[in-house]
Amino acid sequence: RTYPAQDESSKPVPVKESTPSSAAVGTPMMAMSWFGPVQAKKGAKINLILNGQSDKGFNGLSFVINYDPSSLKVNEVIEGDYWKNSSATPTFTKTVDPMEGQVVIDVTQPVGQEDTKGKGSIVRLNFDVIGVQPLSEITVTSIKPSDVSGRELSATAPLPHNLRLRP
């Protein structure tokens, strides 16, 4: 699913994915990547999509999205369609800290539901561009995927999403 930027001068472009690091054989992995505009004007609304892909199942995922609060203001944080790859009914929790420029995401599935695998959007963020910066980075940190038993699995963070913000 593609979510276009709402600023006509900003064209969403896929961002090169990071390369997964090696993990122990049999350890499930998730690779993440950003999709969205690479430039925007002050006053614009933009959508950024964090995508995920895994060939093995995950039951839960928590992570932190970091952004510059002097440049961007979060309007919405919406659960993506990744979790619809199974019959599970996850709980999607988000906490936005506008002063620190952080969004904490926690997705859990009830015990006994099937692990989710495949590919899709994990989360969609809608921002207002409130500042002008030659470069504003959006990053993902503290990634903690888990399996049905709660065992922590490995994941690959996406490269930072770089936005050029102009007047």
Please list the pLDDT of the chain residue by residue as tens digits (167 residues): 433 444 444 444 444 333 333 333 344 478 899 999 999 999 999 999 999 988 777 788 899 999 999 999 999 999 998 877 676 778 899 999 999 999 999 988 877 666 777 889 999 999 999 999 899 999 999 999 887 777 788 888 899 999 999 99
Beta strands in 2-160 (DSSP E): 12-14, 29-37, 39-41, 45-58, 60-66, 72-79, 91-97, 102-108, 116-129, 133-146, 154-156
pLDDT value at position 58? 78
Residue with tokens 């999205």: 65
pLDDT value at position 154? 83
Q: Which DSSP state fits 158?
A: P
pLDDT value at position 112? 66
pTM for the predicted model, two decimal places: 0.80
Residue with tokens 């609060």: 69
